[in-house]
Structure 1
Amino acid sequence: MRFFAVVLFTLFSFLSVNAGENPVVKMETNYGDIYIELYPDKAPKTVENFLRYVKEGFYNGLIFHRVIPGFVIQGGGFYPGMKYKEPTHKPVVNESDNGLSNLRGTIAMARTQDPHSATSQFYINLKDNTFLDYGRTPQKWGYTVFGKVIKGMDVVDKISMVRTTTVGYFRDVPVEPVVIKSVKIEKP
C-alpha cells in the first residue's frame, strides 16, 4: 500500500509540475542564445501570434535592427542591409492590460501609434521601462509584454553594446548585423 501511495504522489507531482508549464523558445543569434519563456495565460493572442511566426521560420535570418543602450533591442522585421520583411499575418489585438510590466528582460510587441498594429516585430527591455505599460502612455494603451528572458540576458546585454549608425531614416542600427539565426520552440 505504501508503494502505491509513493507512486501516486510521484505521478501527481510530475503532472502538476509539467502540466501547466509555459512555452519556451530558443533564439539563436550570432552573439549567443537567448531563452524566452512565454506567458499564454497573460497574453494568449500575442503568444499565439508570436509562436505562429516562430513555427513558420519567419524570424530566421532577420536582425535586431534597433539597439538603444539602456532602453531596448528590437527585431523581427528586417534582414541585414535593412531590407524589410513584410509580416505575413494580420495585426494582433493589444493585450497590454494583462498586468505584466515592461521590466528588464521582458519581451513585448513593437507597434505603431495604432495600439492594435503589432505584427511580427518585438523588443527586449534592457531596463525597467514602465512608461511603456498600459495606462502610462498618452493613449492609455501600452505595449504588450508576453514573456521574459530566462537565460541569455548576458547575450542581450552584449547586443545592447554594439556600435550603431543611421541607415536611411533608421537610427540605432547596428553597424555589424546582429543576426537572429533561428527561433525554435524548446518546450511546448
Structure 2
Amino acid sequence: MRPILSALALSLVSAPAGAEDPGSAAPRVELLTNHGALVLELDPAKAPATTANFLRYVRDGHYDGLIFHRVIPGFMAQAGGYDAEFEERDTREPVENESRNGLSNERGTIAMARTNNPHSATAQFFINLVDNPRLDGSPGNWGYTVFGRLVEGLDVLDKIASIPTGRGGPFPTDVPQAPVVISSARVVEGD
C-alpha cells in the first residue's frame, strides 16, 4: 500500500491544484474599432470548424478596415463583409453549420451570418445585442452558429448599437450613419 500512496503523493506534487496546460487557453480575438475594443473568446470545443474559419480570416487580415454594415438595436450588430466604401471582400468556401452545438444566441455572443442556405456562412458575423433564442439551432431547424462570446467591450457594443442608422451603400436601412470601422482584428490569446 505504501508504493501506491507514494505514487499518489508524487502526482499531487508534480501537478499542483489549478495548474493548466498553457496551450489550452481558449482563443481570444480583439476587434479594435474606432469606438473602442471588443475582445471575443472563441469556443473551438463546441464550434471547431467555425472557430478555425474565423481565426483564419483574422490571421489573413480579412477584417482589417471593414465596417459594421448592419446594426439593428434590440437585435444584433453585423460585420465582416464590407469596407467603408461598401466594397465586398472576397471570401473562401462556406463553412458547415454548427448551430446545434448547445450554444445559444445570447446577449454578447458572436455568431456567423449566412443566407437562407444553412451552410453558406463565410466571413460575416454578428454580435447579439440581446438574447435571440429564435436564432438557435434545434432538431429540424438550422440556426445561426454561435462560436464565442464578448468578454471585454460590452460598453463599446452598446455604444455601437446607439449610433443612428439609415441608408448606406446598397443597403436601404440599418447602416450606422457614423461608420464603425474595424481598424484591426488580431488573436491576443490562445494562438
In the alignment, what sits opposite 1:42?
Answer: 46
In the alignment, what sits opposite 2:165?
Answer: 164
Higher alpha-carbon Rg:
2
Asked if structure 1 preserves the Cα contact closer than 8 Å seen for 2:86 and 2:169, the reply is no
Name which of 63, 81, 86 aligns with 2:90.
Answer: 86
TM-score by length of 2: 0.89
Deviation at 1:175, TM superposition (A): 1.0
Aligned counterparts of 1:21 and 1:13: Cα–Cα separation in 2 = 13
CA, structure 1 residues 52+168, in 2 after alignment: closer, same or farther (shift >3 Å)?
closer
Equivalences for 1:39-188 in 2 at 5 Å? 39-87=43-91, 89-135=92-138, 140-170=141-171, 171-188=173-190
1:57-107 superposed Cα distances (whole Å, 9 cap, x missing partner): 0000000000111100000000003222121x1000000000000000000
Deviation at 1:6, TM superposition (A): 8.0
In the alignment, what sits opposite 1:8?
Answer: 14
CA, structure 1 residues 19+86, in 2 after alignment: closer, same or farther (shift >3 Å)?
closer
Aligned counterparts of 1:187 and 1:168: Cα–Cα separation in 2 = 35
Q: Return 5+ residue gaps in structure 1 as ranges.
A: none
Asked if structure 1 preserves the Cα contact closer than 8 Å seen for 2:85 and 2:169, the reply is no
Aligned counterparts of 1:36 and 1:91: Cα–Cα separation in 2 = 21
Q: Return 5+ residue gaps in structure 2 as ranges.
A: 1-5
Secondary structure at the residue paired with 1:131?
A: helix
Identity of aligned residues (%): 51
CA, structure 1 residues 144+5, in 2 after alignment: closer, same or farther (shift >3 Å)?
closer
- The number of aligned residues is 181
Deviation at 1:14, TM superposition (A): 2.6
Secondary structure at the residue paired with 1:157?
A: helix
Deviation at 1:168, TM superposition (A): 4.9
Greater CA deviation, 36-45 or 139-148? 139-148
TM-score by length of 1: 0.90
Aligned counterparts of 2:123 and 2:155: Cα–Cα separation in 1 = 24
Deviation at 1:9, TM superposition (A): 4.1
In the alignment, what sits opposite 1:27?
Answer: 31
CA RMSD, Structure 1 to Structure 2 (Å): 1.9
Aligned counterparts of 2:163 and 2:125: Cα–Cα separation in 1 = 19
